Structure 1
Amino acid sequence: MNNVFEFQVKMTNGQLKELSEYQGKPLLIVNTASKCGLTPQFKGLQELYRKYNDRGLEILGFPCDQFNNQEFDNIEETTQFCQLNYGVTFPIFAKIDVNGGNAHPLFTFLKDQKKGLLSKNIKWNFTKFLVDPNGKVVERYAPTTEPIKIEIDLRKLLS
């Protein structure tokens, strides 16, 4: 695989979605969790989405339960929680693994393209990957990086 747009992901209804549908748009891909200390970042992510979606930005949320089981078992609970508590309107996909033998191929690719500080593994919820309109991973952000701190890099991709 050469870029993000070559992957398929599972939507919450179980159907597959081709990421090629987002070709030509910058993406912010995030592994999320609903019951994490960092969960309030949904508010900042939604704010970026509201501010820049009309200029092409897509934010893709991937619930993950690999870090202290901080995600609901039922994906409907996850999407309702995100919508009711944080007004999330960007796409939330089916729950996935981001590390280990069952890691989704998309996240394996993302980690191979941009390693973390000490290793390529994702250390916690809300690791963020910024992808340019050609599907190239341009930056990886730590879980504690607030979404607003990504805005400068994001605006470079939108200009």
Structure 2
Amino acid sequence: MESICEVNFCSVLSRHLLNIFFYSRMMNPAVANEVLTSVENTLRSSPFDFQGARIISGQEEGAYGWITVNYLLGNFIQRSYFRSVRTSGALDLGGASTQITFESDDFIESEDNSLHFRLYGRSYNVYTHSFLCYGKDQALRLQLANRIA
């Protein structure tokens, strides 16, 4: 039971820290760096095997979400020479941004939206785009601002 609580706590803590990082980074990059330094110092003195922290890009966030979805669906390990499994796309509606990510066989016009990596012996070309300020919290703020105006 203790490990479940620890996992839930870590999940809630990581989401909370990500929100702090995003809003701090968006509003004041200096504050974001202070928060990140404080988190690093705290985790270095914890029993966790801490190996560093950084704020990831929206494209990285989209890619990690796509990998997670397809891993959980078994799309990477169920591939064989006789049967190909198509990957699923991922749409991540976050608090401050939304990411869309999917595998593409077509040429991707912008290198900023194109990621290439290798998983389980296969290469993937993935389109990913992060829409900053199109998350649910930002949409709510916009709606509230429109009601006030």
**TM-score, with structure 1 as normaliser:** 0.24
**TM-score, with structure 2 as normaliser:** 0.25
* Structure with the larger RCO, 1 or 2 (CA within 8 Å, 6+ apart): 1
Larger Cα-atom Rg: 2
